[in-house]
């Protein structure tokens, strides 16, 4: 008898239109770029889950350590009655919060993937009988309308995914999050931190090659969705640290001169040997930058927690 509601604010064909626009724009400009959100079909999501278990990929474990240690403080500081989770995916990390937020009335997971939302809701409802789950199929980088669940609201954006946004995108994203907060509401933000370059690069170029497969998966998505004929074997996985911007970049580098057809877009794409397409930016932060970017969006950093090793941070901010 646990209430479960699912609201779609994203038209069924919005994803397809957005992929077409991104591939058309991204592969006809110089240098070529593809947005990281297209990694995550079911295979890509599986590969990402595998990445989170790799010895080199510390962010997931570091964030879990903080959530486990700090969930009671987060609950006390926010008194949240509604937890909104942006990019909830499997809602795995959320469990620690849900367990600690004892006064919680509603959980609002927001994701572009309907299957992730319904799959996660089923097990959450079993574990938290009486919790209202109102899942939203939505793109949280576009304007969000939240259901009228009771406040205070805690909006969580975990995993370090904010690092996938470029600085200007981050500013408008944080401003729109700010717009969701009423007085007394809070934002819980996960950010990976600047650290030794070799540790960072290994996290994005693991020995087992899982991240390489994840990176190349975007080509398989384009092949399937747009009828393209990319051969992932024609590309090398590249992960590099951009010290100026303090972000990791993932790229795919053509091993030879090649031409790929994208029939659904009436497009022929040429890659010169060695030419790269940037597939992801994963920004790493310092406390100062987080504080400043929150302040620029009209929020105040009130708590800053890191794991023991200082690799990852959870920030709590209020409007
Ligand atoms: C899910 C965006 C947080 O940037 O670390 C993992 C994705 N990319 N390995 C990240 C990712 C390569 C991940 N986020």
Mean pLDDT, to the nearest integer, of 292-314? 98
| Pick from 170, 202, 215: nearest CA to 44 | 215
pLDDT in tens, 145-163: 899 999 999 999 999 999 9
Q: How far is CA 65 from CA 96, 207, 209, in A?
A: 10, 24, 26
pLDDT in tens, 56-104: 999 999 999 999 999 999 999 999 999 999 987 767 788 889 989 989 9
Atom 4 (ligand 1): residue with closest C-alpha?
Answer: 282
Query: Which of 96-105, 115-124, 134-143 tops mean pLDDT?
Result: 96-105
Atom 5 (ligand 1): residue with closest C-alpha?
Answer: 282
Q: Which ligand 1 atom is nearest residue 52's CA? A: 6
Can you tell me the distance from the alpha carbon of 133 to that of 82, in angstroms, rounded to the nearest whole number? 10
Whole-complex ipTM? 0.99
Q: Which ligand 1 atom is nearest residue 282's CA? A: 4
pLDDT in tens, 238-281: 999 999 999 999 999 999 999 999 999 999 999 999 999 999 99
- Burial grade of 49 (CB within 10 A; 0-12, 13-18, 19 or more): middle
| Residue pair 175/299 in contact by the 8 Å Cβ criterion | no
> Which residue bears the tokens 């090793």?
309
pTM of the full structure: 0.96
């Amino acid at each position: 008898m646990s209430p479960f509601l699912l609201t779609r604010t994203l038209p069924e064909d919005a994803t397809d239109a957005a992929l077409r626009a991104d591939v058309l724009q991204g592969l006809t400009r110089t240098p070529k770029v593809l947005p990281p959100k297209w990694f995550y079909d079911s295979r890509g999501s599986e590969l990402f889950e595998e990445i989170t278990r790799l010895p080199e990929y510390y962010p997931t474990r570091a964030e879990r350590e903080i959530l486990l240690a700090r969930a009671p403080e987060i609950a006390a500081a926010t008194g949240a009655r509604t937890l909104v989770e942006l990019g909830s995916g499997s809602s795995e990390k959320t469990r620690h919060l849900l367990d600690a937020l004892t006064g919680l009335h509603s959980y609002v997971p927001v994701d572009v993937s309907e299957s992730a939302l319904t799959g996660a809701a089923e097990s959450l409802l079993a574990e938290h009988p009486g919790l209202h789950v109102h899942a939203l199929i939505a793109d949280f980088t576009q304007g969000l309308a939240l259901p009228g669940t009771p406040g205070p609201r805690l909006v969580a954006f975990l995993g370090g995914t904010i690092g996938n946004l470029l600085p200007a995108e981050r500013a408008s994203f944080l401003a729109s999050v700010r717009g969701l907060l009423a007085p007394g509401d809070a934002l819980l933000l996960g950010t990976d931190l600047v650290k030794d370059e070799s540790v960072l690069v290994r996290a994005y170029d693991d020995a087992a090659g899982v991240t390489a497969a994840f990176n190349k998966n975007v080509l398989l998505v384009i092949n399937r969705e747009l009828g393209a004929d990319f051969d992932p074997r024609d590309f090398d996985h590249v992960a590099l640290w951009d010290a100026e911007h303090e972000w990791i970049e993932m790229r795919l580098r053509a091993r030879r001169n090649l031409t790929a057809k994208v029939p659904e877009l009436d497009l022929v794409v040429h890659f010169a040997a060695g030419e790269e397409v940037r597939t992801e930016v994963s920004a790493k932060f310092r406390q100062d930058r987080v504080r400043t970017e929150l302040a620029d969006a009209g929020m105040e950093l009130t708590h800053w927690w890191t794991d023991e090793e200082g690799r990852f941070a959870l920030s709590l901010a209020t409007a």
